[in-house]
Structure 1
């Protein structure tokens, strides 16, 4: 009976922890590979709310952030296209005379709200709509009078259409880029004047003739033709 009590005492001592000479007892800590310790990396449901779907740290280089940015960009593009369609619907009814007047000169086309809209659709089919958008936003810049707004707009135009890192970069020669660089030291409504003129000439000599000879313009003219009586 005495030996059994001794063995039970040893078993209890092993379970509760080792006893130091000073009488204190240390309970063994549970190791990381213990079957009772949940693995944080194996259960995605425990991922923090601000972390991405693949990692615990939410860093700027994470791939899922890039995906979200792409989705946001696609959403903004869709909103822009819907706005353009809404603007077209609100324009005055187009007439055959106005459509024919576009063929007289590029100036007639670009002065017409309907002409710019149809021309932009053509440029979009050629993946060069940024040229017209750049020209138009420079026109808006010239009308701005608030200095702070001018400075902010100039910076935004540069980032969107002049920076080599932008996907909407317009084609400008080195001389004009140097002029812009100098003008950026003191932003004004005239910062992009030479660049705007260069893009105007580019559209006039290159894109405009193709638009006039395109099926898009021909179909638009045809839509005004009165069906012949049978």
Structure 2
């Protein structure tokens, strides 16, 4: 009689299907190791291996961002004298040769939404100072991505011939890889933006301010 009851209980109790991984116990417990999900190819997995991978990617992005700060954001320069500011009107070269002149001109370019021209020129000047091959390659890549790539919002205006030369030389960049492009942008600023700068309120106000200070002295 006892054996018949046991048999009936077995028939009434539904069999529990065994699912893969059930032997490991509930999520996060049991014998599951910290790298158990490393064999999982599911993109929704939130295991530690993906966490480590995301952290590595964030560190790599941060390192790239730190390298970008090598390029000057704003040059330090003393307040220009009246003679210096007056000399800017004589030639574009005299404007660009002084940090104060470049800063004033860059401020003007910002109002015309063409500051990237000066930023590119300055980045090329910084690149020329490098001697380490690895740093040259990294800085050349950054300059290319920021100012040469057609996908960049800061892309400068270059002709197709110069772009083709740069694209070929990017396989083994040197500190002079952007020389032709830099000259082209320098010429563009000279012919296009410089005349407007000389007639701008920014330049005239600076000149007048320095003239008044000189007269008071």
2 CA distance for matches of 1:106 and 1:20? 102
Change (3 A) 1:187 1:22: same
**Residue 24 of structure 1: how far off its partner (Å):** 4.9
SS of alignment partner, residue 172 of structure 1 = coil
2:10 counterpart (11, 22, 32): 22
Q: Structure 1 residue 211 and structure 2 residue 201: aligned?
A: no
Give the ranges of 4+ consecutive aligned residues of structure 1 lying more than 2 Å apart after TM superposition. Answer: 19-27, 225-229
2 CA distance for matches of 1:122 and 1:20? 93
Count of residue correspondences: 158
| TM-score normalized with structure 2 length | 0.66
Residue equivalent to 1:155: 141
Residue equivalent to 1:169: 155
In structure 1, stretches of 5+ residues that fail to align are 1-18, 28-55, 59-75
Larger Rg belongs to: 1
Does 1 or 2 have the higher relative contact order (CA < 8 Å, sep 6+)? 2
2 CA distance for matches of 1:160 and 1:189? 16
In structure 2, stretches of 5+ residues that fail to align are 1-6, 16-43, 47-65
Q: Structure 1 residue 184 and structure 2 residue 170: aligned?
A: yes
Q: Structure 1 residue 118 and structure 2 residue 109: aligned?
A: no
| TM-score normalized with structure 1 length | 0.62
Change (3 A) 1:20 1:186: farther
